Amino acid sequence: VRAFCELLGLDPLYMGNEGKLVAVVPAEEAEEALQAVRATALGREAALIGRFTNAQKQVQIETPLGGLRRLDMLYGEGLPRIC
């Protein structure tokens, strides 16, 4: 996906992606929820990918180099569903 997006100048965070689940659970229940999902055949590779803090009022993602960048809302139209 990364190579495809780089070739076309696309950001994979703004592309359609079916068959994924993002669950928001209380921090004290995150590990238990993660283990429950990992116990299923399709959830073996589940991972914690973020957390809510009071420090920022925006979504930030960690870059491959360890920095942070703001994840802006998608403006305009995203790519249409393929299937």
C-alpha–C-alpha distance, residues 80 and 4, integer Å: 17
Residue 2 has a pLDDT of: 82
Residue 78 has a pLDDT of: 65
The structure's pTM equals 0.61
Kindly indicate the confidence band of residue 42, based on its pLDDT and cuts at 50, 70 and 90.
Answer: very high
Chain-wide mean pLDDT for the chain? 84
pLDDT digits (tens, 9 = 90+) for 45-82: 999 888 877 776 778 888 889 898 888 877 766 666 66
Residue-by-residue DSSP string for 33-80: HHHHHHTSGGGTT--------SS-SS-EEE-TTS-EEE-PPP-S--PP
In the predicted model, is pLDDT for residue 83 greater than 80? no
